[in-house]
Amino acid sequence: MAAQNADGYNILIVHSDADDETDERAFYERIKPGFELVKNADEPLCKNLVAVIPIQMTEAWLLADKDTFREELGTNKTFQELGLTFSLKHTEKISNPKSKIQDIMRIAFKNSPRRRVSIGSLYSPLGQKVSLKVLEKLPSYLKFKNNLLEALIKLNFIRIG
């Protein structure tokens, strides 16, 4: 159990993709049961849990900052050419963002047969470069941020007001 391994840590962040249009099912079916087990456990473990549940998939967050995404691909193709024409508000409505990224990568590298980039190689650089100001406009990221803020306040690490 992750909470046992995190004993001695202040907060454990638990991730699950929603794989849906909202986070409700993922939370109630995959996150909440674990949270309840931790809450009721008598053994030493990290009991300050925060859920992060991207709507659809984490890959939607990679697509949120289009400029950074295109820059990381190293292409000068336009958003139109790449199929990055959806609005930020629509980002979490893409039913399969991983497939969308693969489509964009095919277009970006169509004339560069030697250039091979996998989705897996994008997670770390994009995770470090995606604008938090952009992510804060996505409801699922904002929910995570607020839950983390509440946990930090509860632990007296920060004070508001």
Residues 108-137: tens digit of each pLDDT: 988 876 666 788 899 999 999 999 999 999
Final residue in a domain of this structure, among 33, 55, 77: 55
Residue 14 lies in a domain: yes
Rounded to two decimals, the pTM is 0.87
Final residue in a domain of this structure, among 37, 55, 73: 55
Range of the domain at 13: 2-55
What average pLDDT does range 94-113 have in this prediction? 90
On whether both 79 and 48 belong to a single domain, the answer is no
Specify the number of domains making up the chain: 2
List own/partner pairs for 22-26 with CB under 8 A and 24 or more apart: 22/55, 23/53, 23/55, 23/140, 23/143, 26/53
On whether both 30 and 64 belong to a single domain, the answer is no
On whether both 90 and 77 belong to a single domain, the answer is yes
